[in-house]
């Protein structure tokens, strides 16, 4: 296996193993005897990974760039109103502080928090090169939310933080 660090703005945002060589400008091969983790700094001139004395938090903005309900674009509304059995289609980007897409491949288990007595749901989201397409069907009425807090519930806050403005989904009959 070959280990690579995914580096954005000289900061390691992910560590991956591949069975064969991968050629991607955002990936840096890691020697077998080197320990590298998210938040480490990559000095490209020296070719070294540096662990900061204090953990450096990398902020990654999660941006919904498109939200469609039954094929109709919803604009920038924080709250989507969805009829039962409709499908919502999202385009989601992982962005840096400048709003540029971070070319990282990640898989998330995205928690949809149920409100007003509604059971929560978890959906899988696959980011490729920092962009994900997600379709969710809504077979029953109810209220769900996605918050910045829920996105970060399993993330080490000393290393990484996802920023997100939040989303509410109201499914009606």
73 pLDDT band, cuts 50/70/90, is confident
Is residue 144 within 8 A of residue 120, CB to CB? The reply is yes
Domain boundary among 50, 73, 90: 50
Instruction: Report residue 33's pLDDT band, with 50, 70 and 90 as the boundaries.
Output: confident
Pair (46, 127) in one structural domain: no
pLDDT at 150 over 50: yes
Q: Are 19 and 98 in a shared domain?
A: no
95 with 113, same domain?
yes
CATH code assigned at 130: 2.60.40
pLDDT band at 54 (very low <50, low <70, confident <90, very high): very low
Coil, strand or helix at 117: coil
Say what the pTM is.
0.66
Work out whether the CA dihedral 101, 106, 107, 112 comes out positive or negative: negative
Q: Tell me how far apart the alpha carbons of residues 14 and 104 are, in angstroms, rounded to a whole number.
A: 8
User: Degrees (nearest 5) of the Cα angle 128, 51, 97?
Assistant: 45
Regarding whether 62 and 43 lie in a shared domain, the answer is no
For residues 101 and 106, what is the distance between their CA atoms, to the nearest angstrom?
Answer: 13
User: What confidence category does residue 57 fall into, taking pLDDT thresholds of 50, 70 and 90?
Assistant: low
**Which range marks the domain in which residue 20 is found?**
2-50
């Amino acid at each position: 296996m070959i280990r690579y660090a995914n580096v954005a703005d000289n900061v390691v945002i992910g560590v991956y193993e591949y069975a064969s060589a991968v050629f991607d400008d955002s990936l840096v091969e890691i020697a077998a005897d080197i320990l590298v983790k998210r938040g480490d700094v990559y000095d490209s001139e020296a070719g070294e990974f540096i662990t900061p004395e204090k953990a450096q938090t990398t902020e990654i903005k999660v941006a919904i760039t498109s939200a469609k309900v039954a094929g109709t674009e919803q604009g920038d509304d924080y709250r989507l109103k969805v009829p039962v059995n409709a499908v919502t289609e999202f385009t989601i980007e992982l962005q840096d502080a400048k709003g540029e897409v971070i070319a990282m491949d990640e898989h998330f288990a995205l928690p949809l928090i149920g409100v007003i007595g509604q059971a929560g749901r978890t959906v899988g989201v696959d980011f490729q090169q920092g962009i994900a397409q997600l379709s969710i069907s809504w077979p029953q009425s109810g209220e769900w939310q996605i918050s910045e807090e829920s996105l970060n519930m399993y993330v080490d806050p000393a290393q990484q933080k996802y920023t997100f403005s939040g989303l509410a989904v109201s499914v009606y009959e």
